[in-house]
Each structure stands twice: as structure tokens, then as C-alpha cells.
Amino acid sequence: MSLAFIFPGQGSQAVGMGAELAEAFASAREVFQEVDDALGQNLSRLMREGPEDQLTLTENAQPALMAVSLAVMRVLERDFSAGIGKAAFVAGHSLGEYSALAAAGALSLSDAARLLRVRGQAMQRALPVGAGAMASLIGPKTDVALAEEAAAEGAKFGVCVVANDNNQGNVVISGDKAAVGAAIEKAKALGARAILLNVSAPFHCPLMQPAADEMAEALASARIIAPAAPVVTNVTARPTLDPEAIRGLLVDQVTGRVRWRESMLWLAGEGGITRFAEAGSGKVLAGMAKRIAPDAAAVSLNSPADLETFAATV
């Protein structure tokens, strides 16, 4: 059975995430301490106790989600001998790509934490709060073609693009507030439902170019080595082992589309993956995997019991 580890993105955070792992495993506590030390912040306490509004801030949520994912991976490696060596590929949704790279050894844990702090802050300040918006287009008629048609209508009023092609029935658009509003009306006329997302900035669209410029500077000095397993990247939906390609694609990712549906289809097709394991907080990606690649198995690895059950099968 060919396995891919997949790593969640923003929106999967929740107060209390990682607490069970930290209580059960010293190796998880080590990860949380390393991230705290790298950031000079007691992020692990914020993850454990909240408040939720502080954890949800982009600059906190991004490194926090990565920390939980890497705690899962370190426990699998150290305590169950079921870590990255069992994977044919890794992939991560948006910020989860950093988790995937750190899990595969391309980035150090501390560098990933620091880069995600910069990324979160840069995305937050790329434009004033409230100037942009994101909306999830959902329903059985929703696909990327419908979303692109809706975004094209929105683009008459400002920047509006498809930001996340998650799966059939779930595509996210992003851009200027007025443009996204117009796109929502078009999407409804085309038979989709639309939900404005509670986000602080319009991610994965050209309005994030100032953040991409900041990330280019931060990534220029980051040490990136070849990952232990190929990383299927958001921008290309194809695998790479090339450190310099990874560096450039992480910059492109800030303004580019998250091609998650295409990535999963490639993994389940040409990649030969028959099992997806979502490492980290929540169960969003495992749910998507079941919709995109119904012939593959998909599990979420959150709790000590999840990890023990999974490790017994690989």
C-alpha cells in the first residue's frame, strides 16, 4: 500500500490542539518547545489554552498548525517507527506545504516556524483589513470552471481569482471585496452556494504580492535541502525534490492557486497512492481525499490512539 502524508492548512486550528499528544509523548513536547524557542513565544500555551481569537490570528495559526503536524510526525518516527520513511510522497494545503517540507527534512523545524511567522505577518499587512475578501463556492454544481466564470465576472470590479481548488463542490475565490461580492452573485446565478469566509486577508491572489516579496527575501537565506520524499507542490500539482525549485514555488504559492484537487488526483493516479494520512489538527484533508480519490483510504492522525492504530498498519 503506497502512502502519502498530507498536512492541513489554516482553518484547522482549534484551542486544545496537540494537548493530548503533549501529555502522552515527550517527543511531541520537544517539538512544541522547539517552536516556542524559535519564535520567542509561548505558542504552545496559546494552542493549549487560547484565547481562540489570538490563536486564529494568521501569524499564530500558521506556525501552530505546523507544530502540531510535526509533533504527529515526530511521535510516529520516535515512538512507533512509522514516520516519513514510510511515505512515497508528501503534500500540504497552503501553509501545510511548509509542514510537509519540514516533515520531509527539507526545512528545519525552527526555520519552518520562523518562516511561517514571517508569512503570517506579511499576509496580514499586505493590504488593509476589510479591503479584500474570500468566499467558498459550494454545492454539487460547483467546480473550478464555474468558479472561474464567477471570478471573471468579479474581475470587472477589481482583483478576483480562484484561490483554492479544493475538490468538486468546494472552490474558494479571493480578491477585492467588491469584486468577490460580484463573483458571489454570479456564482449563485450559476447554481452554486457561496459563503463569505472569516479571514483577515484575501489569500492566494495577486493582492498578496507584497507578502510574496517579503517571503522571497526571507526564503532567499533559508536553508533548504532535498526532502526525504518528493513534495507535491500547491502551485504545480506535481512532485519535486529540487531545493531551488521548492524555494521559488514557496514564493509563488503566496499569490498562486492552491491546486489541491489536482494534487490529490495526481497522487492517486500517476503517483500510485492508495492511502492518505492527514498529519495534524482536524480532519478536513482526509474528508477531501475521500471525495477526490474515493478508491484510496484516508485517515486523520490527531490523537495518541489514532497514531497507535495507524502505526500498526504500516
Closest CA to 93 of 294, 278, 227: 278
C-alpha to C-alpha distance for 57 and 49, rounded to whole angstroms: 15
The residue behind cell 495518541 is 304
Closest CA to 49 of 25, 16, 73: 16
Contact 173, 186 (CB under 8 A): no
The residues annotated with a catalytic role in the active site are 94, 204
Contact 224, 239 (CB under 8 A): no
Closest CA to 62 of 260, 253, 274, 295: 253
C-alpha to C-alpha distance for 34 and 11, rounded to whole angstroms: 23
